[in-house]
Amino acid sequence: MDLTIECQKRPENSKPNALRRSGRIPANLYGHKGTESISLTIDAKTVERLLKKGSVNNTLIDLKITDIPWQGKTLLREVQIHPAKRTPFHLSFFAVAGHGPTTVEVPLRFVGDAIGVKQEGGLLDTVFNQLQVSCEPENIPEAIEVDVSNMKVGDSLHIHELPLPKGVTVLNDAEQIAVSILPPQITPEKEAELDAAQAETEATSETETATESEAS
Ordered by start, the domain boundaries in the chain are 2-99, 103-182, 186-216
Q: What is the pLDDT of residue 139?
A: 85
**Confidence grade of residue 141 (pLDDT, cut at 50, 70, 90):** confident
CATH assignment of 103-182, given 2.170.120.20, 3.30.930.10, 3.40.50.2300, 2.40.30.10?
A: 2.170.120.20
What gap in Å lies between CA 179 and CA 154, rounded to an integer? 11
Q: Which CATH superfamily is domain 2-99 in?
A: Ribosomal Protein L25; Chain P (2.40.240.10)
Torsion of CA 181, 186, 187, 193, to 10 degrees: 160
Q: What is the pLDDT of residue 58?
A: 82
Pair 153, 122: CB distance under 8 Å: yes
Picking from 53-67, 112-126, 144-158, which range would have the lowest pLDDT averaged per residue? 53-67
**Confidence grade of residue 138 (pLDDT, cut at 50, 70, 90):** confident
- Which of 21, 4, 30, 36 has the alpha carbon at shortest distance from 89? 21
**Confidence grade of residue 91 (pLDDT, cut at 50, 70, 90):** very high
Q: What is the pLDDT of residue 9?
A: 93
Please compute the mean of the pLDDT values over residues 73-85 and round it to a whole number. Answer: 90
Assess whether pLDDT exceeds 70 at residue 187: no
Assess whether pLDDT exceeds 80 at residue 199: no
pTM assigned to the model:
0.64
Q: 61: which strand partners?
A: 3, 74
Q: What is the pLDDT of residues 115-129, one digit of tens each?
A: 999 999 999 999 999
